[in-house]
Amino acid sequence: MVSKKAKPKNETKSKNALWQELFKKSKLTKENIDLLKEDLVIRGVDINRINPKSVNIIQLFGEVNKETYVWNEGVFTALFRQYSKDKSSKKKWIVLDGPIDYEWVENLNSVLDDNLKLNLPNGESIPMTPGMCLLLETDSLRNVTPATISRCGLVFMNRLEVNRPKQMFN
Q: Does some domain include residue 89?
A: yes
Number of domains in the chain: 1
pTM of the model: 0.71
As a whole number of angstroms, the distance between CA 17 and CA 2 comes to 23
Could you tell me if residue 27 is inside a domain?
no
Q: Which domain holds residue 144?
A: 44-168
Long-range contacts of 120-125 (CB under 8 A, 24+ apart): 120/61, 120/62, 120/71, 120/77, 121/61, 121/62, 121/63, 121/64, 122/64, 122/71, 124/71
**CATH code for the domain of 152:** 3.40.50.300
- For residue 14, report the phi and psi dihedrals to the nearest 5 degrees: -75, 160
Q: What is the pLDDT of residues 14-59, one digit of tens each?
A: 656 666 676 677 777 778 878 877 777 777 788 899 999 999 999 9
- pLDDT tier at 159 (50, 70, 90 boundaries)? low
Examine residue 80 and state whether it is found in any structural domain, yes or no: yes
82: in domain: yes
The answer to the question of residue 99 being in a domain is yes
Look at residue 16 and tell me if it is in a domain.
Answer: no
pLDDT of 77-114, one tens digit each?
999 999 999 998 888 999 998 888 888 888 888 888 88
- Rounded CA-CA distance 46/143 in Å is 29
Residue 7 falls inside a structural domain: no
Domain-embedded: residue 113 = yes
